[in-house]
Amino acid sequence: MDNEAVRQAAERIKASSTVVVLTGAGISQESGVPTFRGKDGLWKQYRAEQLATLEAFQRDPELVWQWYDWRRGLIKPLDPNPGHYALVEMEKRIQDFVLVTQNVDGLHRVAGSSNPIEMHGTIWRVRCMECNQIFENRDVPIKILPTCEVCGGLLRPDVVWFGEALDERILRTIYTSLQKAQLMLIVGTSAVVQPAASFGLVAKRTAGAFVIELNRSKTAQSFLFDLSIQGKAGELLPQLLDYIDL
């Protein structure tokens, strides 16, 4: 860990009144959340990419719900880690703080982040296929098949599946924040999945933001950012907070 780089990053954060943070799977993995893709994604004989689609749900909703129920069972007992809690404290110290996450596990909310933008939705909400009502649901196990308490329609996980577009209102909110950011912090993401992969460059080019990347290893975009620090989010973020509070 480069202590001088962490100190420099903290000074930049402390001097910024408008900060956008983007988190990815890396911060959740430190709490024990599997990625559900790659080698962690195999459930029975299926991969995540085969199940997390509207087509799969329409073809066999019971199978897809069994998979999500299994995932919810793995995630529910897990706790936020020191990285999540450090972001909660950082939010209290910064005038205009926006947290955007690609994760659907809900751990930022559990930690106490006031209004995280969950750009891919959350595994703890369900949405009706008929009336489009959205409900929070933390039942584990969940009733399969779950139905809407308003109209009786079939409920689906309120997440963005492969092949589905992100919510335009959420994207507008994110881009508005990026376009006025003085600093952007990118935590635990490999920066390969669009549109999140371009957020750092958007902030840098449209707002002149100072962009800091925290990740276990360098990414394909590390050389484009102002600082790239390698290490665990659960260690780096609390250390940043300590320097900010000096």
Order of strands, edge to edge, in the sheet holding 155-159?
134-136, 121-128, 155-159
Contact 100, 166 (CB under 8 A): no
| Sequence-distant (≥ 6) Cβ neighbours of residue 222 within 8 angstroms | 213, 215, 228
Q: How many residues does the chain have?
A: 246
Is 84 annotated as catalytic? no
CB contact set of 14 (below 8 Å; sequence gap of 6+)? 243, 244
Q: Which of 12, 120, 125, 232 is catalytic?
A: 120
**Residues catalogued as catalytic:** 120
